[in-house]
Amino acid sequence: MGYKIRSCFMLFFLFALLFAIINMIGWWLNWSLWLMLAITLIIIGFQYLIGPYIIGWIYRIDWIPFDQFKGQYPHLADIVDAHVRKFHIRTPRMGLIDDGNPNAFTFGHHKNNARVVITSGILQHLNKKEQASVVAHEMGHVVHSDFIIMTLASAIPVLLYVVARWCFFAGRSTTRGRDEKGGYFGLALLIIGVLSYFAYYFGYLITLLISRFREYYADENSAEMMENPNYLSTALVKIAYGLLEAQDKTSEMYKSKVHTLRSLGIYNKKDAKKLALASVGASGGFSQENIEAAAAWDLHNPWAKYYQVFSTHPLPAKRILALNKRCAEFNVKPEINLSRTKERAEEQAGKSLWDQFLADLFWLWLPSLVFISCIGFTILWIINLVFNYSTLLLGINILFFWAIGLNLMGLAVIARTLYKYRGSFQPYTIAELVTNVKVSPIRPVATILQGKIIGRGIPGLWYSEDLVVQDETGLITVDYRFGLRIVDFFWAIMRVDKLIGQNVQIFGWYRRAPTPYVQVNYILTESGRKFKNYSKHVTYLSSIIYFGIGLLLFWLAIAIF
């Protein structure tokens, strides 16, 4: 459910590229604002028309005739039929993606030509009620006409951006005129451009907010059609957090993993005890403690608040809380109790995580802070050069200053990389990782993960380079981003399918941003093959570039002055 926007990245990128090129041509040829807006609307309409066909093309979807779907999955067909009867819509086209990553999405032009897709992971890891609740959520998007609503909502910020860019271009051209009237008109256009750009940015944030509201609305539809909000809540625990209920084979898998850890020389009784109890609650089902700790990140880590603003979907814990509030309407008790999440967070991190959040921001922004400081000083130096306020500033060699600044930026990149890729690798289960409240996109846990690769990070997308791994406690995404898109692409098309189904050991860094994932250092397969990832090393390239330019400026400063 959380992949509908991200999975179409390449489609949106292509249309954004087309939009940028046409706008550059328009500004070069001095087209009118109305013509630019009209062309933009045509591009948006064209994307809306062909988008579903492109999605159907780039995904490996097995389309199933509804009669056959009804014979294979009657409990899912029943919930679809219930929506068709209640909302008087056409039966959507049903698709299945053969991938162990539990997920679902819907797309189309309008409610009467919708496509609803689920993965085999939904059928494997969710019980029948949970499966039906997920389909009911997707059908909620269909009956609420979210395809059209989100297209219209997304169009408004794009149009505001066109207005802003046109005003900037026209304003600069007009202010070059000699008459006073033309100068005032150009200044007015520049002001309108600035206001339009701010409106575009806030419009974009409002669009994301609308998307999150539509997700809540679809959740409500699921609760009403299932007459029990708990089914979707427990489904979210499995899909969003990757936490699974204890199975009968847990003890066998546990013994297998202990044997593997012992052969690696990393087995000890403490780890074995944690492994045995990782996801099993008192009833043998979900561990309430683990769910509380996993949800505590969503509700109490400051990073979650940051990501929520820029997310198309509400955080899973907030969706579960909203579903819990509706339980009283159906005379059921909430099955997922999140009342103790704050206590779980405090057990790990004390009263507040804000100090760690601020430290993370400092290291994350350190190279940018150095660069901004250099820019600020340069502006002061230029102002002083024009108005001659201080002889002290005039005596500073600006090339020498930037040479020092660039070398400091190179050191800042190295410091940030060391902060981001720290720790010694230790064995963890997925449940132990997901329940860590202190992690962030830059504050990792160095981990050794033992499990089976069951699917792609974006199920069905043939060029998705990420993986999904399952152990006896849950599922988690494994991020293989190399740092160069061309390398990621060839990894996706040449290696990923061959790795699916294999038992592997993954050495990497667990992060959360906001979805839990493990960034790969290297993958070790059953056959002993080792797939190294050099994303950490790629980050050092920018520091080398900074050092190189800095040394060049040193040489120029000495040669000129």
The single residue of 130, 138, 245, 335 carrying the catalytic annotation is 138
Spatial CB neighbours of 8, under 8 Å, sequence gap ≥ 6: 51, 55
Residue 105: strand, helix, or coil: strand
Q: By C-alpha distance, which of 308, 300, 297 is closest to 351?
A: 300
Partners of 446 in beta bridges: 509
Residue count of the chain, please give it.
561
Residue 531: strand, helix, or coil: strand
Q: By C-alpha distance, which of 280, 294, 279 is closest to 340?
A: 294
Alpha-carbon span 206 to 270, nearest angstrom: 48
Listing DSSP states for 317-380 in one string gives HHHHHHHHHTGGGGT---SS--TTHHHHHHHHHTT-SHHHHHHHHHHHHHHHHHHHHHHHHHHH
The tokens for 416 are: 């940030």
CA atoms within 13 A on the CB side of 107: 24
Residue 294 has phi, psi (to 5 degrees) of: -65, -40
Residue 267, classified by CB atoms within 10 Å of its CB into exposed (0-12), middle (13-18) or buried (19+), is: middle
The tokens for 291 are: 């769910």
Residue 154: strand, helix, or coil: helix
Alpha-carbon span 141 to 312, nearest angstrom: 14
The tokens for 404 are: 């020092």
Listing DSSP states for 244-298 in one string gives ----TTHHHHHHHHHHHHHHHT---HHHHHHHHTSS--TTSS--HHHHHHHHHHH
Q: What is the DSSP letter of 439?
A: -
Which residue has 């109790």 as its token pair? 337
Spatial CB neighbours of 361, under 8 Å, sequence gap ≥ 6: none
Amino acid at 534: Y
Alpha-carbon span 495 to 61, nearest angstrom: 20
Spatial CB neighbours of 352, under 8 Å, sequence gap ≥ 6: none
SS (H, E, C) 229-244: CHHHHHHHHHHHCCEC
289 is annotated as an active-site residue? no
Cis peptide before 514 (omega within 30 of 0): yes
Catalytic residues: 138
